[in-house]
Amino acid sequence: MLDTNLKHAESHEGIEELIKGNANVMICCGRMGPMCIPVYGLMEKLESEYPHVQMKDLDFDISAASFIKNLPECSYFRGLPFTVYFKNGRVVKATSSIQNEGQIIDILDEVFKD
């Protein structure tokens, strides 16, 4: 389990339920490494500003991470974390590697505008 203040996605079934049960979902799949930790921190900071978005982390090294790793949108990714944005059950954006606050906000505003 990742050492963050985010809620954790922990199972394949739980991820499917999360995506089906919520219109707006952001999952950051990574490790506790130098490219991932800043993204988790930004998600923790932005969570209260985007209450209509379910923000979760997912440990890259557990079997449930195959859900994210095997998405076509992530097939060319080489750097962690893999951050995937789901709108109404489908992938609308996916990024890899570190993102800064402005980049994350731009994506959240673009894909989850009401």
Per-residue pLDDT tens over the stretch 48-88: 999 999 999 999 999 999 999 999 999 999 999 999 999 99
User: What pLDDT is recorded for position 47?
Assistant: 97
User: What pLDDT is recorded for position 113?
Assistant: 86
Q: What's the rounded Cα separation, in Å, for the pair 14 and 5? A: 18
User: What pLDDT is recorded for position 1?
Assistant: 83
Quickly state the pLDDT bin for 2 (edges 50, 70, 90): very high
Q: CB–CB of 53/45 below 8 Å? A: no
Quickly state the pLDDT bin for 114 (edges 50, 70, 90): low
Q: CB–CB of 91/110 below 8 Å? A: no
Q: Which domains does the chain have, with CATH numbers?
A: 7-109 (3.40.30.10)
The reported pTM is 0.97
